[in-house]
Structure 1
């Protein structure tokens, strides 16, 4: 670790020289000039924390761009610089055209049936937002129910979740504006399309749950923020409310709260028979819940704790009378299914589906059966069970990929599920629960042949000897020849989140140009259960970076990528990953894209949802955790005097999950340091957030900018892409 004095010198340094940057001559015939970076004013903030002098000269960049003219000016200057540079990259226009062509295919959501009505989303290809349709019967004529493309001229207002009443007569839906995590809930009449007067605001991190009789709905919300703090204030005091249809939000009733513990998240779910509200309380991002029941049929609505202690995951599947089924990791790191008789005194757990050697990723109760989704080396496998746990059959999936869905009601005879892979866009299948037969409901036509690309799974060894899987995707001809090509390596490694095969049109464009794409299933994720997660968080966080570094070393050592052709990418916690790995091994990486990353590990817990992340990162206020966080914090560990790869940071002005100040401060530190002549730029999207709800046109433009940047600095020639 550098001394505090050296850190302060680094962060207070300024760069005024103009740079001229070139890509590998074999791929590009001209150089792209980079003007001087805008000057980032340096402040004099130095804090002594646990004996460490910590300089934070760019703290002023934490201010909300809406409230600070100085930050707004900085954003404008950085955006103009990046836009000019990115527009000049060779092959960018052709690359964007190919991405747009690949995006132009029908995309369907999984249908939900209620009262004979089938609700589903559809995007005709290039619509900024998917449209919600309804059919009277599965083969009925589609009718537009909600078209969010009419809500905003820039397409940045999105439909964010929807749920019909049990009889299918009304629809509750969320509205997301500009990519923010905040939601507004509205209700419409399905038959007429009329939007009712009901309007509920300040919803965030919430389920939307109808009462079974359709009289109203349950939701979770936070208090109204102070003026000017909507996108930065900490989220505390979440409560579960009931909204009765036809009444103002001011009349909504609090049905569950934890006033003595304002830091807890509280979410309510209605049982499948409508008799109970199951509430989950949690303190962070870990799957550790205290679960309570509220009897909705009785007069006494006092919550009854049935799972105390915040020790384990208990996720409600469904109930048959008093027998409640849960997925849990209690004494089962790879998870199991248990049943609890809520009328019993001891609330004993009856094991229904025991823990297996592979990760149980989710279970649904439908048609009197349990449908269990497993992850086997990060690939989906699905099995159907009777309610006593006995296995009936496995579901035959189309190949190596990711399956999801399988939801429904107790009397359903069919369910719908999705399947996708790296070379297969999402298709929707109908599954007959009695016969076990799958049939295609909707499968899109695409502007490429999936057989032209190969998907392989390989395993490599990390620094400490751990065996780690990766998916390798290439054009079939390149895979057959064994040719080394520029490679994009993607990772996440945190919060028990599993990365599985999925489709992204921009990835196909990268493959078309001759590149390879690799997804590394590094520790910190949930691919192999609790132990895999624990192996990559808190005091074990360095394992995440080591796993990713080992993936890059494997790709270069085995001739998969070219010696100067490794690009790395990750978003959110993956942005932290990319920033830390670039600091630790700038010699290994040739181009980097940290997106919406957590870059200041000493102050992440001071904004919006950041306080929840202590489960994975630890507490900056505790000395042992602080020292660990300081050791890898991207903002604090830029290696002055070392040549760095080209870096394109991306964020958005309405990101209220990982506030953009993280990326602003990190970029300022990069530009101030003596780290070589490669460009270190930031691309700042407007009217966008952490990712969800982003309009298609913005997604295409950003993918073209990022892909062209990474291609230029790894030697991938885009000139013939799409031909």
Structure 2
């Protein structure tokens, strides 16, 4: 619960990031691909890869290519006067001092915040009292100045969060990333003194996880010897590290399997921070995990695995009850059928004493248009975040002598609710509410009494007068109804000429919800553009089944859903291909790449950010091996054939008129990696096809590490979209 303020800040940036596009108007003037031998779809299997040099992330030849294309892209787009205007307007919004300082509960009734602005580019971790925060003019005490640290050490540090030792929460393990990579450095920090602990715990850079055992002990899971990682690049060996010990003195306590995604041993505590028992996990793939419990203490090597499906997610420990979310149907020893999507609970210690006879209670069972986004706890309550037809509600649960009871918190309806932080020492929650046309409002809710108080609202950043939000349903190729939101002027002319942005994600059970984007509103909606958000299969809008419908060889359904929404927009005469632009990132970048190669006739502009694009070789690129549970195994005859059939990098064809795409990535992205985007752009280059390419040298998988970098990227994207989609209207 504590430390959630940083996650909420990064989530807000991510949500703002996904909503950045547009659409256009004249017949497409696109260069036709010319056949060359280096097309990976035509080259012999034993042919040398002409773009292999781009695999070397920081290689001189690769970076020369990157810098040349960065210069070309910025040079072309910055000649448009809108580029500097967009950058200034967006940066002003991002750095506005009247933004809500996203709060996180800290020990002793204090409030934490992570803040970035024009002066504090890398950010401040700071703290104030609840009374001061509530006053609207908080007096902040700086805990850590990341800009000052970066300057002193000559490294662009990105603050990735903290793990503080309960119950005092004074000693914290700070995670710092060089440029935004997933790999981080961990250092021990004294909050009261506002300084790193002299001769304290320090872990060098790596993709690692750490957990406090006590003041002088922690469990560390990392790459202890070179190559001791899974095929996905994650650690699987946990050792006990004592204070003042060097890494080579740590003692192994748990080992997973190199063939799995990751593994670790951890500590389970109750809400007050009291030690309960050790736990462990082995991530068999991205969606299947073996959860182990060690009920007999820290030195216990006897592991108990409960007879639940490996898809079930351990979601919390509340008043002695284990909380799980089922992702597949399960039948108990008594023959009771528990359906996928259900939130179940049972006495953990009793279950560990007799694991063969676990018989849970169902706390919540979503219907076909609902899903549970997550669970959290306060001092006395368990809180579920629920989606119903892609709008949010929060429900508070209690467990006592009479069993389970619950009620719905009286927060705004028909909006997106984001639970920012929950308090271990009270029943308070911080919750943001927002919508496409409703700016963010911060509420403090009491999960026990149900009392809700609005703390602050963000000023409106654009004129929403005359705009409306509607929800429609498109029919996919197999007859499935797929919902989407449309934000557009009320008096929109249905003549097929409206510039329209279409965005989606469609993977990993992640739902797409309405959010307030000042950049979208000011630079697109105010100028007469329309925006559509598609809730396609593969996401988490309607629970596990909605996600599973798009797994592996069923993934074409995801792409069909997206195309169905586009065709519905066209059939309504809201827009037409010359006026339709699309955008997505990460898995959504793969979605965009597939749409570029499968249906180039439907779009006039495509922004492809931090994408997967080579689905034949993705398991050998960065953390790609961990996603086989989502995409399938390229080495499997059936799954491999399907992946090749949809792989954007392997399906660029000669003689096809493609819209001119914009590829974006980051050198420091060590999750998906920049190689996908580099090689796809280089293939376009080799085939004589026009494209834009921009690779931020920092930023990690978020493609930007600070507000200035976000503003520059937005300016590039909006200028590109405006040129492609609005100038010809």
Q: TM-score range by the shorter chain?
A: 0.7 to 0.9
For 2:493 and 2:216, the matched residues in 1 are separated by: 61
Q: Where do residues 356-371 of structure 1 align in structure 2 (5 Å cutoff)?
A: 356-357=366-367, 358-371=370-383
For residue 203 of structure 1, report the CA deviation from its aligned partner: 4.3
* Native 8 Å contact 1:386 1:392 kept in 2: no
* Native 8 Å contact 1:24 1:715 kept in 2: yes
The answer on 1:96 being equivalent to 2:87 is yes
Aligned to 1:338: 345
Aligned to 1:79: 70
Aligned to 1:17: none
For 1:47 and 1:486, the matched residues in 2 are separated by: 39
Q: Where do residues 408-487 of structure 1 align in structure 2 (5 Å cutoff)?
A: 408-409=423-424, 412-449=426-463, 453-474=467-488, 476=489, 484-487=497-500
Aligned to 2:334: none
Aligned to 1:391: 406
Which structure has more helix as a fraction of its residues? 2
* Native 8 Å contact 2:503 2:534 kept in 1: yes
Q: CA RMSD in A?
A: 3.5
* Native 8 Å contact 1:127 1:696 kept in 2: no
TM-aligned CA distance change 1:127 to 1:536, over 3 Å:
farther
Q: Where do residues 243-392 of structure 1 align in structure 2 (5 Å cutoff)?
A: 243-259=241-257, 263-266=261-264, 268-272=266-270, 273-286=274-287, 288-295=288-295, 298=297, 300-307=299-306, 311-321=310-320, 323-331=321-329, 332-343=339-350, 344-345=353-354, 346=356, 348-357=358-367, 358-387=370-399, 388-392=403-407
CA offsets, 1:146-202, max 9 Å, x none? 122233369942110223332132232210111211011122212210211321234
Give the secondary-structure state (helix, strand or coil) at the position aligned to 2:455: strand
TM-aligned CA distance change 1:244 to 1:398, over 3 Å:
farther
TM-score calculated relative to the size of structure 1 = 0.85
For 2:491 and 2:250, the matched residues in 1 are separated by: 60
For residue 693 of structure 1, report the CA deviation from its aligned partner: 6.1
* Native 8 Å contact 2:497 2:579 kept in 1: no
CA offsets, 1:4-26, max 9 Å, x none? xxxxxxxxxxxxxxxxxxx9788
CA offsets, 1:71-126, max 9 Å, x none? 22222322222222222235222222221232233243341232343323234577
Out of 107, 111, 118, the residue aligned to residue 104 of structure 2 is 111
Give the secondary-structure state (helix, strand or coil) at the position aligned to 1:368: coil
Give the secondary-structure state (helix, strand or coil) at the position aligned to 1:555: helix
Give the secondary-structure state (helix, strand or coil) at the position aligned to 2:700: coil
Aligned to 1:500: 513
For 1:534 and 1:44, the matched residues in 2 are separated by: 30
CA offsets, 1:222-245, max 9 Å, x none? 34557xx99x98514423344444
For 1:218 and 1:717, the matched residues in 2 are separated by: 60
Out of 182, 189, 198, the residue aligned to residue 201 of structure 2 is 198
Give the secondary-structure state (helix, strand or coil) at the position aligned to 1:372: strand
For residue 54 of structure 1, report the CA deviation from its aligned partner: 8.0
The answer on 1:121 being equivalent to 2:134 is no
Give the secondary-structure state (helix, strand or coil) at the position aligned to 1:525: coil
Aligned to 1:709: 720
TM-aligned CA distance change 1:124 to 1:511, over 3 Å:
same
Aligned to 2:709: 698
CA offsets, 1:237-267, max 9 Å, x none? 4233444445444444443321575644336
Larger CA deviation: 535-544 vs 80-89: 80-89
TM-score calculated relative to the size of structure 2 = 0.84
For 1:179 and 1:660, the matched residues in 2 are separated by: 14
Higher relative contact order (CA 8 A, sep 6+): 2
* Native 8 Å contact 1:120 1:133 kept in 2: yes
Larger CA deviation: 101-110 vs 566-575: 101-110
Larger CA deviation: 439-448 vs 72-81: 439-448
TM-aligned CA distance change 1:157 to 1:561, over 3 Å:
farther
Segments of 5+ residues of structure 1 without an aligned counterpart are 1-22, 719-723
For 1:299 and 1:267, the matched residues in 2 are separated by: 10
Aligned to 2:9: none
For residue 406 of structure 1, report the CA deviation from its aligned partner: 5.4
For residue 618 of structure 1, report the CA deviation from its aligned partner: 0.8
Aligned to 1:4: none
* Native 8 Å contact 1:496 1:526 kept in 2: yes
* Native 8 Å contact 2:381 2:448 kept in 1: no
CA offsets, 1:203-231, max 9 Å, x none? 4264x5434x54444443234557xx99x
CA offsets, 1:383-420, max 9 Å, x none? 112223322333423642132245332x5232222333
* Native 8 Å contact 2:494 2:574 kept in 1: no
For 2:268 and 2:43, the matched residues in 1 are separated by: 48
Aligned pairs, number: 673
For 1:25 and 1:502, the matched residues in 2 are separated by: 27
For 1:618 and 1:55, the matched residues in 2 are separated by: 25
Aligned to 2:600: 586
Give the secondary-structure state (helix, strand or coil) at the position aligned to 1:564: helix
